[in-house]
A and B are shown apart, each in its own frame.
Chain A
């Protein structure tokens, strides 16, 4: 079974700082990759996804992620964070053709300070 690791559990940044959140997965086959965001008290919302093609994908709100197959990584980036980006971020991996089940990482809590 695949697993997903998010090494940064808590991140605190000042507004305008750059963000990179790490995500590594363990599975040797073809995967679909996702980043979700959960704002306080809300449900998870899709930020961006990758399933084929250009390994650099762009999502909503200025976020992007790069799939590096050789490193089994799918790191999330944003050049300049805003206070409103304060949320919990989850990386998720699905095995292509594997019944659509997603395995989620444990999440990274991001706090952006003014």
Chain B
């Protein structure tokens, strides 16, 4: 089925460890996004990529890096995890106009201890 696939679904890290969250879409969308969801705060944009080869910071980029590997894949890296990064992470994609909303992945629940 066409959609957005995220891996892993769950992860526990120790403070200071690094990891990469993977995201791939087969919707042929140009734009991809990483959001984090925290209770009472909704979804906040971490980074986005308007098209292959470009990335830009969102609202809460500190502590994260991204790579737009190709049109399909957009990864999010935590270089040195902190407890404040405990969250649910969602990847999403959209077509260029943005009029049709996002297609979201199923999320990654990350706990940093």
Number of A-B contacts (CB under 8 A): 63
Cβ of B102 under 8 Å from chain A = yes
Q: Which of A6-61 contact B (CB under 8 A)?
A: 6, 9, 32, 34, 36, 42-46, 49, 51
Cβ of B74 under 8 Å from chain A = no
Closest to B45 in A: A101
Contact partners of A46 in chain B: CB under 8 A: 101-102
Q: How far is the CA of A101 from the CA of B97 in the complex (A)?
A: 10
Cβ of A84 under 8 Å from chain B = no
Contact partners of A4 in chain B: CB under 8 A: 42
The answer to whether B106 touches A42, judged by C-beta atoms less than 8 angstroms apart, is yes
The answer to whether A49 touches B43, judged by C-beta atoms less than 8 angstroms apart, is no
The answer to whether B94 touches A100, judged by C-beta atoms less than 8 angstroms apart, is yes
The answer to whether B40 touches A100, judged by C-beta atoms less than 8 angstroms apart, is no
Cβ of A112 under 8 Å from chain B = no
The answer to whether B98 touches A32, judged by C-beta atoms less than 8 angstroms apart, is yes
Q: How far is the CA of A105 from the CA of B37 in the complex (A)?
A: 11
1/0 per position for A86-114, CB-CB distance to B under 8 A? 00001010101011111111110000000
Which residue numbers of B lie inside 8 Å of A, CB to CB? 31, 33, 35, 40-45, 48, 50, 56, 58, 90, 94, 96-102, 104-107
